[in-house]
Structure 1
Amino acid sequence: MYLLYHLRENVRDARHLGPRFLLRHLSRLRRGDGASVRVSVSGVGRLILRRESQDLGVVREIFREDAYRIPSPPHDRQVDEVYRSLLAQGRRPVIIDAGANNGASAAWFAVRYPRALIVAVEPDPGNAQVARANTAQFGVLVVEAAIGCRSGRVRLVGGDGSTDAVQTVRGDDGVRVVTVPEIVGEQPPGCALFIVKVDIEGFESDLFAHDTGWVGDTSVLYVEPHDYLFPGRGVTRGMQAAAVEHDLELLVARGNLVYVNKAAGPGPGPTRRLPEKG
């Protein structure tokens, strides 16, 4: 059964990621079990996969399963219209990938929206290093930081050695915290917030605690909820309130909640929002 499972997985990899993706097996044999390997993903390019990490599963989920594809064709077309309209106005759409991990999600957004400015926010140094390598070809800006509702510092905890389960806790020292308005405000003139993707292991409770006006500026808000990690704490309560306040429409795509802003359209909108005061 083990061999049959892996055979099926490799067949699916070849079909959706391209036959060259399977060459990672040769690279692993040539370089040893402890080495990272470079893989080729059809339509994307070369990516680094670390051994003893979740990188393979992340790449499969994002590129093979199309995890960030908007599941409703009408909503997908609406978002495409906003993207084209911003470009036609001479404005550059900004995509913030909060919790970028190894950069695969930022690469997906870069392929899907090639003229957008993508900012990948990742607090874990090892993940941030790999994200830079995996997104250099797309000109993604990788910010080694956590994201929250206000500036400050966080400690990195948990994970148990996993590359995709590092949590952040407010503290007096550690990794810096940036906000969505700060990120947008630091970009060149003419940039406009377009998409925000949030996968931050429960720190969404902080991100959506207050100063959520930026939610209304997004065309799409992706959130991977983590209430299951923190029973009884309501870590997504602020996110749900912000979605209701800004009248966002909710879709579900695999493990992500996908909020589409039905008010987003081709008309003028805010650019380079200044940081909000708490």
Structure 2
Amino acid sequence: MINKVFIYDKQSKNVFLQNIERYGDYITVQEIFFNNDYDIKKFNFFKKEDEIKLKTKLIIDCGANIGCSSLFFYKNHPNSFIIAIEPEKKNFNLLKLNTKEIINKRLINSAISSEEHYFDLNKSDDSRAHKVQIKKDYNLDQLKTFTVNNILEEYSENEYEYFLIKIDIEGFEKKLFEKNTEWIDKFKIIIIELHDWMFPFKNQSLNFQKTILNSGKFKDIIISGENLILINY
């Protein structure tokens, strides 16, 4: 069983590794570091001067899994503060290992939602496919979800540029975009994987679509791998 993947970084000409446990982790490494699905620098809207800012770039990684996406964002945008959110414990332990080189970060072992509530995980054999479920009954050991708005309250726009939010939460985007979506216009870039294919005829992305249509900003949309990349302007 392979438990480490070595990756050559063309920019720095260095080799780094990512710790994995399951086949799904290896697919994640491939998608992020070999397919470059989160590489926004390859598109025309991104300009070099965007990196020359006095404020620290704030990047929120919702559904950070084993940390590959967080590390990718950090390597491509080193003047950034990474907030990585991952609810599943095994994934979160790998996330901590795989993001050790990120200096400015906050790791949250929880889920993201439109409001604070208790939750359970419907676990899958595929490490990428654990699903968050709302929990009405709870005990003292259970965690509450975080909201994007509450997180942003801790990071003032005077100090941080709300640069990028990535969302890959295995269908829970239906709940995330249900309400309290003011934050959607604050980030320059939104990267999201929608999961209508996983839940056919369930209006899984309807709340997201409504949020975008009611947005106060124009948004260009680019398809990159399994993701939509939205650029606010």
When normalised by structure 1's length, the TM-score is 0.74
User: Within the alignment, does 1:102 sit opposite 2:71 as a pair?
Assistant: no
Aligned to 2:20: 49
Matched residues in 1 for 2:166 and 2:40: separation? 12
Aligned to 2:224: 253
Q: Which amino acid aligns with 2:28?
A: V
Q: Any stretches of 5+ residues in structure 2 without a counterpart?
A: none
The correspondence of residues 11-50 of structure 1 with structure 2, limited to 5 A, is: 33=1, 36-37=3-4, 39-42=6-9, 43=12, 45-50=16-21
Q: Which runs of 4+ in 1 moved over 6 A?
A: none
Matched residues in 2 for 1:114 and 1:41: separation? 17
Task: Pick from 119, 125, 134 the counterpart of residue 154 of structure 1.
Answer: 119
Matched residues in 2 for 1:177 and 1:49: separation? 26
SS in structure 1 at match of 2:82: strand
Q: Which amino acid aligns with 2:111?
A: A
**C-alpha displacement of 1:83:** 4.3
SS in structure 2 at match of 1:163: coil
Aligned to 2:194: 225
Computing the radius of gyration over CA atoms, which structure comes out larger, 1 or 2?
1
Aligned to 2:40: 70
Matched residues in 2 for 1:71 and 1:243: separation? 23
Length, aligned pairs only? 221
CA contact (8 A) 2:162 2:187 kept: yes
User: Within the alignment, does 1:61 sit opposite 2:37 as a pair?
Assistant: no
When normalised by structure 2's length, the TM-score is 0.88
SS in structure 1 at match of 2:107: strand
**C-alpha displacement of 1:238:** 1.4
Instruction: Answer 1 or 2: which has greater helix percent.
Output: 1
Q: Which amino acid aligns with 1:64?
A: F
SS in structure 2 at match of 1:192: strand
Q: 1:82 to 1:212 in 2, by over 3 A?
A: farther
Pairwise CA RMSD: 1.9
Instruction: Answer 1 or 2: which has greater strand percent.
Output: 2
